[in-house]
Amino acid sequence: MRLQKLQELAGHLYELWNLMDTPIEERSLFEHVTCNVSAAVDEVTVPGALALDLIEQAEVEVERLDELKASKMKEIALKKQGELEEIYVHAHIEIDSVAAQEKIMALIDPGNIEPSELLANLDNQIATAKEEALSRKDILEKVERWMSACEEESWLEDYNRDENRYNSSRGAHLNLKRAEKARILVTKIPALVDTLVLKTRAWEEDRGLSFTYDGVPLLAMLDEYALLRHDREEEKRKMRDQKKSNDLGTEQEVVFSSRPGLSPGRPLGPKKVVGPRANGGANGTPNRRLSLNSNGSRSMGKDTKRENRPAAPVNFSSISKENAASHVSATDSAPISP
């Protein structure tokens, strides 16, 4: 009989200790009571373990903790409510935390509910929240991947618009590596969105509820993203086509408008007539034979006319084309004696 009474008191102590987060040091003071909480009569061998003074001591401690529990009821209830809200936050389930706390206070202050009943109710809510969070885990993980990919997609667009992205500035190689990874990640977004849509619809059909993400229906978010992505891709396509058209027009303007009257069927310029030049050969190189005349050492020929010809001046290239031509013509027309 004493063992049964002592075990009941030990059970109450454990319940109150766990409820109020009693420190280990304080619990250890009644270890001689709680050590026999599940023992049989023949297993209790310590002398005085079932003494009446020990039972009375345990009863006094239980009464004290009950009174403390009543005074700390608000603190305990709000603590459990905070635990419940944390589960909802991680599961991206929107709740009115202010209204929930006000409801708890309305139940505690006038004593409309037993403390144990209120705590049991909160425990049930916590268990339900954990179950719902577990059912949403797979979808939420994919939502996080999708949002992360969208952030990289936005960063990549800004990076591609940066004309100085290839400059050898500090950190440029890191941005280049990030851009390569981002391009791969962005290509996976459409398939990820399709998977999310299928899983979300299956979840809603199974539970008969709308899957919300921080209060917003997830399917609506996905539909909006798909529409925006389509519009953005269409805009990019139009910009690429416009750029190609502008570049082609610029090239044609440079090629065909730089010279008046130039058309694709006409040659770029008149053909140059290859012939002797006053100061060089047909290909523009200086005429070595003519330049030798500037030394005044002309070889003696049989014809006296050749001896009387004036030597070419040192600045032979300054002679006008007309004089040079007549001079060459006179030289060529002179008869050569055998």
* 294 falls within a domain: no
| pLDDT at res. 46 | 57
Q: Return all residues near 112 (Cβ < 8 A) that are at least 6 apart.
A: 106
Distance, in Å, from the CA atom of 292 to the CA atom of 315, rounded to the nearest integer, reads: 12
Query: Can you tell me the mean pLDDT for 158-179?
Result: 83
- The reply to whether 123 and 15 lie within a common domain is no
- The reply to whether 86 and 177 lie within a common domain is yes
Q: How confident is the model at residue 331 (pLDDT cuts 50, 70, 90)?
A: very low
* 229 falls within a domain: no
Q: How confident is the model at residue 85 (pLDDT cuts 50, 70, 90)?
A: very high
**Which of residues 13, 47, 71 is at a domain's end?**
71
The tally of domains found in the chain comes to 2
Token pair of 111, please? 């004593």
- Whether the predicted pLDDT of 2 surpasses 80: no
How many angstroms separate the Cα of 100 from the Cα of each of 84, 85, 87, 124?
Answer: 10, 10, 14, 15
- The reply to whether 94 and 197 lie within a common domain is yes
Q: How confident is the model at residue 44 (pLDDT cuts 50, 70, 90)?
A: low
* 95 falls within a domain: yes
- The reply to whether 31 and 146 lie within a common domain is no
Contact 67, 31 (CB under 8 A): no
Percent of the chain at pLDDT exceeding 70? 66
| pLDDT at res. 285 | 38
Most confident by average pLDDT, 160-174, 258-272, 294-308? 160-174
- Whether the predicted pLDDT of 75 surpasses 60: yes
**Which of residues 36, 53, 71 is at a domain's end?**
71
- The reply to whether 81 and 15 lie within a common domain is no
Residue for token digits 């003074």?
A: 53
| pLDDT at res. 142 | 96
* 94-136 pLDDT, tens digit each: 988 888 888 888 887 766 777 778 888 999 999 999 999 999 9
| pLDDT at res. 104 | 84
* 318 falls within a domain: no
Q: Whole-number mean pLDDT of the chain?
A: 74
- The reply to whether 63 and 184 lie within a common domain is no
Enter the pTM of the model. Answer: 0.56
- The reply to whether 64 and 155 lie within a common domain is no
- The reply to whether 148 and 215 lie within a common domain is yes
Q: What is the DSSP letter of 313?
A: P
> Alpha carbon 54 to chain centroid distance?
66
- The reply to whether 19 and 83 lie within a common domain is no
- The reply to whether 80 and 180 lie within a common domain is yes
- The reply to whether 63 and 89 lie within a common domain is no
Nearest partner of 225 among 237, 213, 239, judged by Cα: 213
- The reply to whether 207 and 101 lie within a common domain is yes
Least confident piece of the model among 6-10, 57-61, 154-158, 334-338:
334-338
Residue for token digits 């401690």?
A: 61
296 backbone φψ class: left, alpha, beta (φ>0; ψ -120 to 50): left
Residue 276 CB neighbour total at 10 angstroms = 13
* 165 falls within a domain: yes
* 270-313 pLDDT, tens digit each: 444 444 444 444 444 344 333 334 444 444 444 444 444 444 44
Distance, in Å, from the CA atom of 218 to the CA atom of 209, rounded to the nearest integer, reads: 12
Token pair of 178, please? 């990030």
| pLDDT at res. 41 | 52
* Residues of the domain holding 199: 76-219
**Which of residues 171, 189, 219 is at a domain's end?**
219
* 225 falls within a domain: no
